[in-house]
Amino acid sequence: MLFKQFVDDDLGCGSYIVGDEHAGIAVVVDPAYAIEQYLDECARREVRLVAVLETHTHADHVSGHGRLALEHGVPVWIHDAAGAAFPHETLADGTEIELGDVLVRTVHTPGHRPEHCAFVVIDRSRGDEPWLVLTGDSLFVGDAARPDLAVEAADGAEGLFHSLQTLAELGDGVEVYPGHVAGSLCGAAMSSKASTTIGFERRYNHALSETYEDFLAKASGPQPPRPPNMERIVELNRGPFLASQPALQRADDDTDSIVLDVRPAHVFAAGHRPGALNVPVSGSSFATKAAFVLPERTIMLDAADEAEALHAARRLHAVGLFDIAGWRAGGGSEQVEPVTIEELERRLAADEICLLDVREADERDSGSIPGSRHLPYRVARQAAENDLCGARPIVTICESGPRAAIAASVLTAAGIDARPVLDGGIAEWRARGGEMTCFRRCGS
């Protein structure tokens, strides 16, 4: 059996190639928009892609099924409940796809979305029992999917509970490969581990041990932020096939575009174009963070070099941000002086600043600096339209610096005096014994 897992570390997404090397055929499950990785692997293994299998219509990243269909003639399979507007073959509970000695069996597992399916994989050269299951956005390592992206949370949770029980009936030794790992917004407490087993999850995953009532109560409770531009991504994935994008070009100055500077925060602080937003492509979850803070305008990329710009463009394409005018060498006359922890302590004591904690609510609940205000970085653009702190200068802070830099650049671009704590953040403040206010038990 041929089996290969691909993990997008930026988005926390998993995709897979499954096939039979002897028969020379394979399928790709939940492909990313960057399909070159699958084509390269198939060429290396000397196998031919014969189908795309989608577990569901994704809400957090653009699928590559359109590119595979348009550019390589690969048919796409998806459950009818997806309402797909593209040509497709129909999956249903029990649908089987034969790939030489390998059998892929469909299990309809609604909950995250009504059309959601998992795929049980059997290597008949070894036996008739399932070897592994691709669970998509149903069962994760240490968690279960969120139920509130396609239907009301209570309705989704009811379907998800029963789907998880179905998956739990597979043998303890069946390996579980999910559609997401840590870093995705499609679950709250998933592990960064890329696989698990049914037996391990049955023993340790709360989602498989809770009563029906407890599961519904928890699944219907607070959820992580919804993926940015979620509705647009769903429509792209459900709509007509989407082809590849034009090559990124070097561009001249363009005053009509929003400037996204993707260089590291310290480099951006030393000199950038006025009005630029800073989301470093070298940081974690670049595409998600950029999608949260960018307005609906054409994007001009400022980068250190062409390679950095191309990397940023590929990541933006993954979340449906295609309107990119081009790229330029980053730099400019505008500067920002980062705030040190020592300066922060001094200016807070003198009541000279407005401190904005730009972490998420669950992080802030575990400990925050007294007197700080809560403003998640992802809503900074909308908040800038209001009177945040009057005429008082703003300092932004997060756990270690990256999100504070993003928020400060967004506020500064809106004409607000804002500077970030880049080195250390809350972690450094806590390590130095700084006073903390806790809404739940503070860490030691």
* pLDDT for res 444: 40
Q: What are phi and psi of 413, to 5 degrees?
A: -60, -25
Tokens describing residue 11 = 């988005």
pLDDT tens per residue across span 221-240: 777 788 888 999 999 999 99
- Calculate mean pLDDT across residues 351-378: 94
Query: What is the band of 185 on the pLDDT scale with cuts at 50, 70, 90?
Result: low
- Calculate mean pLDDT across residues 34-51: 98
DSSP 407: H
Q: Which of 31, 95, 96 is nearest to 66 (CA)?
A: 31
Residue 191 has pLDDT above 70, yes or no: no
Query: What is the band of 109 on the pLDDT scale with cuts at 50, 70, 90?
Result: very high
In angstroms, the CA 258 to CA 310 distance is: 17
Tell me how far the alpha carbon of residue 2 is from its chain's centroid.
27
* pLDDT for res 112: 93
Query: What is the band of 390 on the pLDDT scale with cuts at 50, 70, 90?
Result: confident
pLDDT tens per residue across span 119-147: 999 999 999 999 999 999 999 999 999 88
Greatest pairwise CA separation for the chain in angstroms: 74
More confident residue, 42 or 153: 42
Q: What are phi and psi of 73, to 5 degrees?
A: 65, 30
In angstroms, the CA 296 to CA 298 distance is: 7
User: What integer best gives the mean pLDDT of the chain?
Assistant: 93
Q: Which of 251, 268, 168, 260 is nearest to 215 (CA)?
A: 168
Residue 172 has pLDDT above 60, yes or no: yes
Give percent of the chain with pLDDT exceeding 90: 84
* pLDDT for res 223: 73
pLDDT tens per residue across span 368-379: 999 999 999 999
- Calculate mean pLDDT across residues 8-37: 97
Q: Which of 377, 374, 369, 363 is nearest to 341 (CA)?
A: 369
Tokens describing residue 303 = 């980068």
Tokens describing residue 113 = 């979305």
Give all strands of the β-sheet with 418-420 in edge-to-edge order: 373-374, 354-357, 394-397, 418-420
**Three-state helix/strand/coil letters over 284-353:** CCHHHHHHHHCCCCCEEEEECCHHHHHHHHHHHHHCCCCCEEEEEECCCCECCCCCCHHHHHHHHHCCCC
Q: Which of 287, 149, 295 is nearest to 231 (CA)?
A: 149
* pLDDT for res 439: 67
Q: Which of 295, 262, 3 is nearest to 130 (CA)?
A: 3
Q: Which of 135, 122, 163 is nearest to 56 (CA)?
A: 135
* pLDDT for res 256: 86
- Asked whether 28 and 68 are in contact (CB, 8 A), the reply is yes
pLDDT tens per residue across span 233-268: 999 999 999 999 999 999 987 778 999 999 999 999
Residue 304 has pLDDT above 80, yes or no: yes
Look at the block and give the residue holding tokens 């739990």: 168
pLDDT tens per residue across span 322-337: 999 999 999 999 999 9
Tokens describing residue 300 = 């001009």
- Asked whether 108 and 185 are in contact (CB, 8 A), the reply is no
Query: What is the band of 183 on the pLDDT scale with cuts at 50, 70, 90?
Result: low
Domains of the chain: 2-234 (3.60.15.10), 245-329 (3.40.250.10), 341-431 (3.40.250.10)
Residue 384 has pLDDT above 50, yes or no: yes
